[in-house]
Amino acid sequence: MADSKAYQSLTQTFQRLHRFNHLASIAHWDSETMMPAKGHAARADALAEISVYTHQLITSPELKRWLDEAEQDDLNEAQRANLREMRREWSKENLLPAELVQAKSLAAAHCEHAWRSQRPANDWQGFLPNLKEVVRLAREEASHLAAAQGGSRYDALLGQYEPGMGSGDIARLFDDVKSWLPDLISRAMDKQSRETVLQPQGPFPIETQRLLGLDAMRLLGFDFDGGRLDISAHPFCGGVPEDVRITTRYNEQEFVSSLMGVVHETGHARYEQGLPRDLLSQPVGRARSMGIHESQSLSFEMQLGGSRAFAGLLSPLVRRHFGELPAFEADNLVKLFTRVKPDFIRVDADELTYPAHVILRFEIERALIDGEIEAEDIPSLWDEKMMAYLGVDTRGNYRNGCMQDSHWAISLLGYFPCYSLGAMYAAQYFAAMRRQNPQLDAQIAAGALSPVFSWLGDKIWSQGSRWQTDELVTRATGETLNPAYYRAHLEARYLG
C-alpha cells in the first residue's frame, strides 16, 4: 500500500523532529555529565531555542491539514497507530504557547543547575525561588492542557507520562498498597532480624565499581556499540535509541547501590535498544509510556536483580573484582539486595519500602499542581509523610529529604507514579513468563537470560507505541494491569 501524500509529509516532519530531539537529548546528557559549569547559561539558551523550534514545527498549520487528510486515507494498522500518536503529540503542543515552552525549558535548566550545588549545601531557601518558578510554569502548562482535555491540572501532567491513566486511578492503586504495605514491611523486618548477613567492608574503589558495572551490563545484554556508562549527580538513562547513555553515581563505602543502579538503568537502555529500528523516527516507534519504561528497569533491577537465581550470576563478577570473601557469595548477596530498612533516599531504597517513597511524592506533587499547597509547604508535608509511612525523621534534612531528587527541579511533575506502576507491571510480566515457561528460574540460575530478554523483546520492546497501554499489557500477559501480582510477588520474596 502506498502512503498518501499527506501521510508522507507527516512522517517527514516527525523524522525532522526526531533528529532535533536527538541533538537535544545528547546535549541534555552532556550537561549532566561532562559540561563545565561555565557552559550552563549558553547550553540552557540553546536547548530552549531547540524546544521553541520543534514546537513551531509541530504546530505549523500544514500539520493539522495533513492529519485531517491522512485520517481519510486507507492506512494499515501500524500507520493508523502512528497517526494516532502523531495527533496526540500535535494536540498537546498546540495547546501550549511558544513563549511558555521556552520559559519552562529555561526555568528547568536553571533550577536543576542550581540544585546540584544547593542540595549538598542543604540550601532549601536558596532552592525555593527557582522551584517556585518551575511550579508556576508547570501549573500554567497544566491549565492549558486541562482546559481542553478535562480533568484536573495534575491529570493533565500525569497524562503526558502515562496516557490513559488519571490521578484517581493512581490514588486507588496507592490506597490499596497503603492498606497492606506497613504490615508487610514490619513482618519482613521481623523475619530478617533473625537472619545472619555479612556486611561487605569497604573501601570499594570507584574504578573497580565501574568495571563491575560494565560486567553487569554485558551480562544483561547491553549493546556497547550503541551506548555507554558515565557518572552523574542523579542516575538516569538518556540519549536516544541509537545511542543510549546511562549514568550512575558511586560511594566508596559500599557498592550495592551503584551496581543495582546500573542494573536498573540497563533495563531502560535495553528497552530503548530494542525498539523497532525501522520506526525510530516516528511516534509509533517510541516507548509506550513512562510506566512501561519503568517496568523494564524494574524487571531488571527487582524481578531479576533481587532473585536468588540472578545473585548466583552476579556473585562471580563481584568476587572477581573485590575478592573471594564470604560476603560476596550468592546467598549473602541476595540478602544484601533484599534487605528491608526504611531510610531517607528513594533511589537507594529496598524493594519493599520503595513504594512509600513514591506514594508520598505523588501525594505532594498532586496537591502542589492542583493548588492545594504551595512550594513553601513541601518540607513540612514531606516530614509528616516520611514519619507516617516509614518512621524516618527528615526535619531540617532537606538534602536527604525533599531536595534529594532532580525531578521537580527539571519540571518532571506527574512522573513519580510511573515508578510504582512500573513495579506492578514488572511483577505481572514475570508471572506471565512463569506461566508460559515453568523452567524460567532454573534457566536464569543456569545463566540463560535469553528467555527473559526474548519475552520482553517480543511482547514489549518491539511493539513501541503500536498499542495503547491497556492493550499492550493485555496482549503480553492476558489482562490489563492487575496489582495483585505485585503484592503476591512481594509476599513470596519477603515472607516465603
3-state DSSP helix/strand/coil % of the chain, to nearest 5: 70, 5, 30
Per the CB < 8 A criterion, the answer to whether 427 and 421 are in contact is no
Strand order in the sheet with 227-231: 227-231, 243-248, 237-240
Cell triple for 147: 482546559
Cis-peptide into 203, omega within 30 deg: yes
Give the active site residues. 265
**Residue spans of alpha helices (H) in 119-166:** 124-149, 153-161
List the alpha helices (DSSP H) in 95-123: 98-118
3-state secondary structure of 231: strand
Question: What residues contact 89, with CB distance under 8 A and at least 6 apart?
Answer: 58, 283
Amino acid at 116: R
Distances (CA, A) of 416 to 93, 195, 281: 22, 33, 27
Residue whose C-alpha is closest to residue 293's, from 440, 449, 452, 415? 415
Chain-centroid distance, C-alpha 236: 8
Q: Are 472 and 164 in contact (CB under 8 A)?
A: no
On whether the CB atoms of residues 59 and 94 are closer than 8 A, the answer is yes
- Cell numbers representing residue 88 in the block: 496526540
Measured distance CA(297)–CA(270) in Å, rounded: 9
CA distance 93 to 136: 18
